[in-house]
Amino acid sequence: MKIALNNVGRRFNKEWIFRNLSAGFTSGNSYAVLGPNGSGKSTLLSVLTGSLAPSEGQIIFSDEKEIPVEDIYQYISLAAPYLELVETFTLKEIVNFHFKFKNFAVGVDAKSLISILGLEKSANKEIKYFSSGMKQRTKLALACCSDSPILFLDEPTSNLDVQGINWYRELIENFTKDRLTIIGSNQIQEYDFCNEHIQIADYK
């Protein structure tokens, strides 16, 4: 899988969030999009996932041949603090619902995913009763344990304690090999394994 950005920019009203950004992203590598809060990391990730169109420039998705932007959702998984889970679903139900649209990663099924989460005792608990850390872990596990060639993680350790951060690092180690992984972050423990860094401030 490849994503190519050619002089891409995105603005809201008359304000440019970033501009003149050219970069390439390829499978088997991990990339960190870096910058302080409000700098445009999430906006760039939204362009990279195809959910926002660039205001200028060109973005190309390809896997041997070019993939139309309207089809790229089939190739990606995303975890972010601003994505909501269905609060009235139990953990078991949210896992079953998610994997109606995605395939499990090799070696993973619904039972083992809940075991990876360490939430076997909460399998039948509704998501609305989960702590913020439990919700974030669930989002990360659903994204990482999906069989998708591109993985996007925005501020992945939000609401995680030290134990949760260690769990996240193990998840990354186990489920990002050969994938194209892109992380939006300003926390070193989230991205220090990444091959390449993009500073969003360089494109203002």
Averaged pLDDT for residues 177-192? 96
Averaged pLDDT for residues 160-184? 96
Chain position carrying tokens 């649209």: 101
Classify burial at 171, counting beta carbons within 10 Å of its beta carbon; exposed 0-12, middle 13-18, buried 19 or more. Answer: buried
Classify burial at 128, counting beta carbons within 10 Å of its beta carbon; exposed 0-12, middle 13-18, buried 19 or more. Answer: exposed
Q: Which CATH number fits domain 2-203: 3.30.2350.10, 1.10.760.10, 3.40.50.300, 3.90.180.10?
A: 3.40.50.300
Strands 2-12 and 15-26: antiparallel
Confidence at 189, pLDDT banded by 50, 70, 90: very high
First-last CA distance in the chain: 28
**Confidence at residue 70, expressed as pLDDT on a 0 to 100 scale:** 92
Q: Is the model more confident about 122 or about 64?
A: 122
What residue ranges do the domains of the chain occupy? 2-203
pTM of the model: 0.94
Averaged pLDDT for residues 31-50? 95
Averaged pLDDT for residues 187-201? 95
How does pLDDT run across 100-145, given as a tens digit for each residue? Answer: 999 999 999 999 999 999 999 999 999 999 999 999 999 999 999 9
**Confidence at residue 114, expressed as pLDDT on a 0 to 100 scale:** 97
Confidence at 64, pLDDT banded by 50, 70, 90: confident
> What mean pLDDT is reported for the chain?
96
Averaged pLDDT for residues 49-73? 95
